[in-house]
Amino acid sequence: MKLLNSVFAMMALTAVSVWAGPEAMKNLQRPQAGLSAELTFGGQGGREFMLDGKPFQIRSGEIHPQRVPRTHWRHRIRTAKAMGLNTIAFYVFWNALEQKDGSWDFSGRNDIAAFIDMCAEEGMWVLFRPGPFVCGEWDLGGLPAYLIKDDVTPLRYTGNAQFMQAQARYLEKMAEIAVPRLCKNGGPILMVQLENEYGSYKTEHDEMAYIEWLKDFWTNKGAGPFYLSEGSQNHHLRFVPRGVAVGLDPADNAWQMNNALRIAPGVPVFSSETYPGWLRHWGEGNWTPSRNTLNSVRWYMRDGVSFNLFVYHGGTSFGLAAGANSNGDGSGFQPDLTSYDYGAPVGENGNLTKEYFEYRDIIKAALPKDAALIEPEHPVSMEIPAFRPTHVADFHGLAVVAEPQCFDTPPTLESLGQNQGIGIYSAVIPAGPAAALSCRVHDYALVYVGDKFIGALDRRLGQAGLQLPARDEASVLKIVVDTFGHVNFGSYIEKDRKGVIGKVMLGGTELRDWYVRRMPLASVPEQVRKTGHARYRERGALYRAEIKLENAPQDTFLDMNGWQKGYVWVNGHLLGRYWHIGPQERLYCPGEFLKQGNNVIEILDLHMVTDNPPQISGKKQRNMEVTKQTKSLNNQWD
């Protein structure tokens, strides 16, 4: 058996060796304004990328403009160019573009057209990845939450008319941006990715018809060629249409490449997601680079294999954008950090890591002598002296959306038109002895009887109930539910809802007649009244600080060490979540969120009750200490 495996491995390596090899790296063609170019599939068996008739190696780095301050886009693109890459790949996050009222926001970090144009200006090609589903450790994989207003909704499925109509509206917007910028039309876009890892979806309604619909949509718009990103096993590749290139997530060895060629002959196969690091969840270890990926890049550069470093630069999932993972049944919930550093060669604030220069050396050594690389620039950051916010209002004294709404049973936040944020669920419970409360919350909750804090429920830990004390009289049960992002990978995206989920039981009795108040957190909760701690024992408070910057602001990291769990706004911009369980203790604050002069920092902490909270300071770097090892799965969980 070992001999057979060795022979098969040698055959696989031989198959790879007859690909374009060094010839592909000699094609140094870059996009030029107004000049069209043509990417085709050719060479032996049609498995090489050809640019204007010559073998071409795609050397790509993934950068999500919606995760990067717009003022830093050009720096990140130029560092990719300086590494020896020739292409930028990026996801588009639909739910950041379409607003609740049906309008579209293409301003700021959402200006996808401007990002593509900037890539062209810097002589970089583009792999356009519009989804509509993208995963990307982003809330609901980029899909809008209004699609899951009902309890269970089939997604990525031609049988769901609402989804297909919404998807068509979105893709029309994408086509308006992408088609004029295709390389054949004088732009930098080499290929459009049709969908993302559909072979890993694993629902009862998976269908080739859905992928074919997407292919027909883009073909009718005049786009092409196309590719799909999929895992490398046979079941991942069952939805690849004829004539569509195959991107493997990842391609770590020749067997994976040749297996894909066997299943999808006549098209190029490349590594559409090669992982220099890996994502991180709350409670795990810190970001760490993957040393094995350096060897993968050596192989790519030796044989002319095309690749995309996912991610080359991760950036930040600002606001409520971070997603989550879970098992197929919703268990094993793992919410993602606000940071999307990823252990990437270019760090969260654009810092160039040791690995960046190692990748650069490998690529540079394999390129022709006339592929002169520009020198990369290091980013600039600043420190902010320590300051102590002041108490503004206890949690119970903050405004919420409208008046409480009454329901027979607890509704999900999505059914109320809210994506994430906080939901406050209240019901009257009778006098009685101590009893078990059975309550499933998504995703974290503080439970009170009257004004007495009883305990917390954490979905990550599988907690779905606690013991309530005896009551001498009828009391108000209050469940303050704080959410994380929706699951962004696998079939459970269709079922993940936020708030109190299903029946709430006290002893053997179902609790009914619920009042629900909502706090979306799109902006800072408004203060209604301030009540002293002597009257209330509820946890949580809003804090505020004003700091003055004498000089033009630069990037910084707000150090939340000592705080518990909550949210931070800077001049109205929601940086994201913090949580004392780590590993992230510092929140990236771009200089463009700050201003010379007075700046307002506001913090909503769900546990803090003190009038003397910890100080906060601005640091030049994020915290990177590794106190707990977390393995890079490299997509092995699928």
Dist CA 444 CA 580 (whole Å): 14
Instruction: Classify residue 123 by its DSSP letter.
Output: T
Query: Quick check: 614 and 561 in contact, CB under 8 A?
Result: yes
Q: Which CATH class is domain 384-392+538-619?
A: mainly beta
**Predicted confidence band at 400 (pLDDT cuts at 50, 70, 90)?**
confident
**What pLDDT sits at residue 20?**
60
pLDDT exceeds cutoff 80 at 528:
no
> Over the stretch 323-379, which tens digit does the pLDDT of each residue have?
999 999 999 999 999 999 999 999 999 999 999 999 999 999 999 999 889 999 999
**Predicted confidence band at 19 (pLDDT cuts at 50, 70, 90)?**
low
**What pLDDT sits at residue 637?**
56
Dist CA 401 CA 569 (whole Å): 19
355: left (phi over 0), alpha (psi -120 to 50) or beta: alpha
**What pLDDT sits at residue 626?**
87
How would you class 176 by CB atoms within 10 Å of its CB: exposed for 0-12, middle for 13-18, buried for 19 or more?
A: exposed
**What pLDDT sits at residue 427?**
97
CATH number belonging to the domain at 400-519, selected among 3.40.50.2300, 3.40.50.720, 2.60.120.260, 3.20.20.150: 2.60.120.260
DSSP conformation letters of 513-538: -EEEEEE--SSPPPB-----TTT---
Range 20-26 average pLDDT = 82
pLDDT exceeds cutoff 80 at 15:
no
Least confident of 13-22, 78-87, 519-528: 13-22
Range 202-219 average pLDDT = 96
Structural domain spans, the chain: 13-366, 384-392+538-619, 400-519
Query: Quick check: 558 and 586 in contact, CB under 8 A?
Result: yes
**Predicted confidence band at 149 (pLDDT cuts at 50, 70, 90)?**
very high
**What pLDDT sits at residue 9?**
40
pLDDT exceeds cutoff 80 at 101:
yes
From the candidates 197, 284, 355, 538, which is the catalytic residue? 197
Residues in a beta bridge with 565: 579
Residues in a beta bridge with 499: 412, 442
**Predicted confidence band at 535 (pLDDT cuts at 50, 70, 90)?**
very low
Query: Quick check: 568 and 542 in contact, CB under 8 A?
Result: no
**Predicted confidence band at 34 (pLDDT cuts at 50, 70, 90)?**
confident
**Predicted confidence band at 434 (pLDDT cuts at 50, 70, 90)?**
very high
From the candidates 273, 284, 414, 602, which is the catalytic residue? 273
Phi, psi dihedrals of residue 543, rounded to the nearest 5°: -125, 155
**What pLDDT sits at residue 638?**
52
pLDDT exceeds cutoff 80 at 429:
yes
> Over the stretch 234-261, which tens digit does the pLDDT of each residue have?
889 999 999 999 999 999 888 888 899 8
Asked about 273 being catalytic, the answer comes back as yes
pLDDT exceeds cutoff 90 at 275:
yes
**Predicted confidence band at 106 (pLDDT cuts at 50, 70, 90)?**
very high
Give the residue, 637 or 459, on which the prediction is more confident.
459
> In terms of Cα–Cα distance, which of 500, 363, 491 is closest to 445?
500
**What pLDDT sits at residue 529?**
58
**What pLDDT sits at residue 530?**
53
Beta-carbon contacts of residue 374 (< 8 Å; ≥ 6 apart): 78, 81, 82
Q: Which percentage of the chain shows pLDDT scores above 70?
A: 95
pLDDT exceeds cutoff 90 at 566:
yes
**What pLDDT sits at residue 3?**
38
How would you class 243 by CB atoms within 10 Å of its CB: exposed for 0-12, middle for 13-18, buried for 19 or more?
A: middle
**What pLDDT sits at residue 16?**
44
E strand or H helix at 41, and its extent?
strand 39-42
Is 400-519 the same fold as 384-392+538-619?
yes
> In terms of Cα–Cα distance, which of 35, 43, 228 is closest to 131?
228
pLDDT exceeds cutoff 60 at 542:
yes
CATH number belonging to the domain at 13-366, selected among 3.40.50.1820, 3.20.20.80, 2.40.440.10, 3.40.50.300: 3.20.20.80
**What pLDDT sits at residue 1?**
39
**What pLDDT sits at residue 533?**
46
**Predicted confidence band at 404 (pLDDT cuts at 50, 70, 90)?**
confident
Asked about 197 being catalytic, the answer comes back as yes
**What pLDDT sits at residue 565?**
98
**What pLDDT sits at residue 536?**
53
Dist CA 74 CA 281 (whole Å): 29
